């Protein structure tokens, strides 16, 4: 699929319609505004393969778990973000025939996702007999009014004359493709249609979320407002208005469809119809152009802080902007109840739930490109789930306030039923602990420890303490039966990465306790009382674990072993695999995958990336050279980490190859699955591969540090970083790196290894 979308710095462009690519394009051209998201389903009915997808943030359904052999400890349900009523639909008839792009041939088809301004546009022409009609459809989900969507549907007749009709509708008859029991997830509550407008209200089964959508429309003929008779349809799960007219040669008719989309996350169900009608009225009063202008303004602000400019490489530029665009439209950070699913609002896979992806991959992006409370909200989300994480640990047999955060969650409960894969990936607890440290290290907001952070750290440390056991034979502590980030190994002993995260958490929790005791004595006392923490006994055993935890090593080469026994496997290289068998997860049996040495995603290397400063270059190199050739990168979360480490090691070609793989993973469909949705959480990793990798940014001894290096074919790279009230503009070219302090006080930092002060409004420049 490489090269299917045209290279362009600001847009994703598809030229010509290929039905076999339609579901992939529905993912690629998705729109969102943090409150909801929409796959790029056509407005008109489409009889070909399509994945209808409208998703509302926080609105989910607990689909009953389906397993063959139930085991104690399995979660009762798998939560799913629901496919919500369809608000984009507009049936179109021309000359009495339904416009269906699966059956009617289009010419000059072009679809564009304009990332600068955040809209989706399609243009195409069709022929009715000999007569030509040109169609242009634009839509956006307002970033300013996050409960509003708008569509402009224009039909221009070149030389056709005859009937045309539009039927804008709201349709509640939607299902999830991934439903376990083919159940319907919504019950319809109210529906009403009158000429010019309609609304529909539905309630989710079991969870009782309510969604209400109201639509209105306006029609223009040759630029003049048109009042037209309308046929109204009102069924329980469907409402529509039909507008019919005669279109003459050279004439243009435009239908504007406005929709308000509200949920009970933010409104009382009893007020929702009135509120939806009000929001709709506001949108209609602003008009399509008015709404669009204010929407574009929000995008301008977003880009002003988060854009990355790559000079000399359009494909790389398009890739990074696509990632940043999707990140910004998935999560805006205004609501601490929300989080980021691996597919964002672009597909059903992963159920829209929260994974370790957020802490490990997303927080760095929001830390440096958005207001501080955005990443803080992501931490608070986990803080609010602490009670559930403790309950979750109790279910599995842990005691005394130990917390095991779920690998997959909507509301704090574990909601996935893949025991060995997801359940045993307890490394997520480490990522959640590390994110607290990462946030404080970057923002300096140490009060967060007293307010929320330390309580979480204590509970996680208690879990590690119980999960780690003593081996008489090894005379070491060990951690048995886990799955590391590499999901192509299940139920292994002493996964190096997980052991590292556990040991680090214990050490950090002890440091944080000392800090709080010294600096916030009364908060410390309150916390000790609240958690029943025993300052004598608990740290003593934690310390012992840190000192005596087993880390598997390959003695001969000095490589950290991914887990005990890894060298018993037949050692093969990914490059020797038959390309026809890749991705192996689509060609090999699970049994074969588990026995092989092939690594799905960074695992030991994930640990080396996270704790980079603990390892010297030789250690990093040895491990990279061992693991990279065995890694198949079949998780989207993998290439970014390899790209960053390759940059550190001066392997720019490899770093660039991995960068393209992460940034264009979806655009070039490397893993052959983009039709299921986009890899939103890995996009945070793409951002890291540019800023931490080529941009060479990290936090070193409490200060920001930059030591960049560009790939061969980049002329220059520039980006902005928000850092403790400052906006820093960084520009790197082949020879130099410059940093301007655009806003905020002066700041000490490291530039190419030297500690240096950047004045308020000052600039620095250094040779590479």
- Contact set with ligand BGC (CB under 6 A): 342, 350, 355-357, 485, 487, 600-601, 635, 637, 681
**Nearest approach, Cβ of 669 to ligand BGC (angstroms)?**
16
**Nearest approach, Cβ of 355 to ligand BGC (angstroms)?**
4
**Nearest approach, Cβ of 598 to ligand BGC (angstroms)?**
13
Widest CA span of the chain, in angstroms? Answer: 89
**Nearest approach, Cβ of 634 to ligand BGC (angstroms)?**
8
Smaller CB separation from ligand BGC, 241 or 438: 438
What is the token pair recorded at 113?
A: 């996702």
Smaller CB separation from ligand BGC, 490 or 681: 681
- Listed residue (470, 483, 478) closest to 429, CA to CA: 483
**Nearest approach, Cβ of 2 to ligand BGC (angstroms)?**
22
**Nearest approach, Cβ of 369 to ligand BGC (angstroms)?**
21
- CB 168 within 8 Å of CB 240: yes
d(CA 390, CA 399) in angstroms, rounded, equals 8
d(CA 280, CA 632) in angstroms, rounded, equals 49
Q: How far, CA to CA in Å, does 530 sit from each of 458, 505, 520, 526, 534?
A: 11, 20, 15, 6, 11
Beta-carbon contacts of 227 under 8 Å, excluding residues fewer than 6 positions away, are none
Smaller CB separation from ligand BGC, 286 or 637: 637
- CB 154 within 8 Å of CB 73: no
**Nearest approach, Cβ of 551 to ligand BGC (angstroms)?**
21
Smaller CB separation from ligand BGC, 125 or 574: 574
- CB 490 within 8 Å of CB 421: yes
Smaller CB separation from ligand BGC, 413 or 487: 487
Number of H helices, E strands in the chain: 19, 33
Smaller CB separation from ligand BGC, 119 or 488: 488
- Listed residue (213, 224, 211) closest to 251, CA to CA: 224
d(CA 754, CA 690) in angstroms, rounded, equals 22
Q: How far, CA to CA in Å, does 207 sit from each of 37, 116, 377, 410, 506?
A: 20, 37, 24, 12, 37
- CB 314 within 8 Å of CB 177: no
Lookup result for tokens 């996050």: 146
Nearest residue to ligand BGC by CB is 342
Active site members: 487
Lookup result for tokens 């407005």: 43
CB atoms within 10 A of CB 423: 24
What is the token pair recorded at 170?
A: 């709201």
Smaller CB separation from ligand BGC, 147 or 357: 357
d(CA 653, CA 535) in angstroms, rounded, equals 51
Lookup result for tokens 């300052």: 535
Smaller CB separation from ligand BGC, 680 or 730: 680
**Nearest approach, Cβ of 635 to ligand BGC (angstroms)?**
4
Name the DSSP class of 313: -
């Amino acid at each position: 699929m490489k090269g299917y979308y045209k290279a362009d710095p600001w847009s994703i462009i598809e030229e010509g319609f290929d039905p076999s690519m339609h579901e992939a394009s529905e993912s690629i051209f998705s729109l969102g505004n943090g409150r909801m998201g929409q796959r790029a389903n056509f407005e008109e009915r489409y009889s070909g393969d399509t994945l209808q997808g409208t998703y509302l943030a926080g609105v989910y359904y607990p689909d009953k778990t389906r397993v063959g052999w139930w085991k104690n400890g399995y979660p009762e349900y798998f939560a799913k973000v629901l496919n919500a009523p369809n608000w984009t639909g507009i049936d179109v008839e021309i000359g009495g025939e339904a416009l269906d792009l699966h059956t009617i041939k289009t010419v000059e088809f072009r679809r564009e996702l304009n990332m600068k301004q955040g809209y989706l546009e399609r243009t195409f022409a069709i022929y009715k007999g000999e007569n030509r009609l040109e169609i242009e459809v634009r839509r956006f989900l307002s970033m300013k009014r996050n409960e509003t969507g708008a569509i402009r549907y224009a039909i221009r007749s070149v030389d056709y004359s005859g009937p045309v009709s539009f039927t804008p509708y709201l349709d509640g008859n939607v299902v999830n493709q991934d439903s376990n029991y083919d159940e319907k997830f919504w019950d319809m509550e109210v529906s009403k249609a009158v000429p010019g407008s309609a609304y529909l209200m539905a309630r989710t089964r079991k969870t009782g979320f309510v969604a209400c959508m109201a639509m209105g429309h306006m029609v223009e003929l040759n630029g003049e407002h048109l009042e037209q008779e309308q046929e109204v349809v009102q069924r329980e799960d469907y409402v529509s208005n039909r507008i019919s007219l005669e279109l003459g040669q050279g004439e243009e008719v435009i239908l504007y469809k406005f929709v308000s989309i509200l949920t009970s996350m933010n409104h009382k169900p009893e007020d929702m119809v009135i509120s939806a009608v009000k929001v709709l009225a506001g949108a209609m009063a602003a008009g399509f152009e008015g709404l669009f202008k204010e929407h574009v303004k929000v995008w301008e602000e977003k880009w002003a802080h988060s854009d990355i400019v790559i000079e000399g490489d359009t494909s790389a530029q398009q890739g990074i902007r696509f990632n940043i665009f999707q990140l910004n439209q998935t999560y805006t950070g205004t609501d601490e109840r929300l989080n980021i699913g691996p597919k964002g609002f672009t597909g059903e896979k992963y159920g829209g739930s929260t994974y370790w992806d957020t802490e490990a991959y997303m927080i760095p992006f929001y830390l440096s490109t958005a207001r501080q409370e955005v990443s803080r909200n992501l931490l608070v989300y986990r803080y609010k789930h602490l009670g559930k994480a403790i309950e979750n640990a109790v279910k599995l047999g842990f005691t005394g306030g130990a917390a095991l955060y779920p690998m997959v969650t909507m509301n704090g409960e574990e909601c996935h039923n893949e025991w060995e894969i997801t359940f045993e990936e307890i490394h997520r607890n480490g990522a959640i602990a590390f994110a607290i440290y990462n946030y404080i290290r970057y923002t300096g907001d140490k009060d967060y420890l007293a307010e929320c952070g330390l309580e979480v750290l204590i509970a996680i440390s208690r879990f590690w303490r119980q999960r780690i056991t003593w081996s008489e034979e090894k005379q070491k502590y060990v951690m048995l039966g886990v799955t590391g980030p590499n999901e192509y190994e299940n139920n292994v002993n002493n996964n190096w990465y997980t052991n590292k995260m556990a040991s680090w958490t214990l050490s950090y929790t002890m440091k944080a306790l000392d800090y709080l005791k010294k600096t916030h004595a009364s908060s410390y006392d309150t916390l000790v009382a609240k958690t029943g923490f025993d300052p004598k006994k608990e740290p003593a055993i934690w310390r012992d674990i840190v000192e005596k935890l087993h880390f598997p090593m390959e003695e001969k080469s000095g490589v950290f072993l991914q887990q005990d026994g890894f060298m018993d496997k037949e050692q093969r290289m990914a490059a020797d695999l038959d390309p026809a068998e890749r991705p192996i997860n689509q060609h090999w049996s699970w049994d074969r995958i588990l026995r092989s040495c092939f690594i799905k995603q960074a695992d030991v290397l994930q640990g080396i990336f996270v704790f980079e400063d603990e390892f010297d270059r030789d250690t990093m190199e040895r491990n990279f050279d061992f693991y990279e050739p065995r890694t198949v990168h079949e998780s989207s979360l993998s290439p970014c980490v390899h790209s960053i480490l390759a940059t550190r090691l001066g392997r720019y070609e490899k770093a660039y190859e991995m960068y393209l793989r992460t940034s264009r993973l979806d655009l070039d469909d490397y893993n052959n699955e983009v039709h299921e949705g986009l890899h939103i959480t890995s996009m945070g990793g793409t951002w890291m591969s540019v800023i931490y990798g080529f941009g060479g940014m990290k936090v070193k001894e409490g200060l920001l540090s930059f030591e960049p290096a560009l790939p061969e074919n980049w002329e220059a790279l520039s980006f902005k970083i928000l850092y403790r009230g400052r906006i820093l503009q960084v520009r790197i070219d082949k020879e130099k790196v410059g940093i301007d302090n655009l806003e905020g006080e002066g700041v000490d930092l490291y530039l190419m290894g030297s500690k240096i002060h950047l004045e308020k409004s000052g600039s620095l420049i250094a040779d590479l």
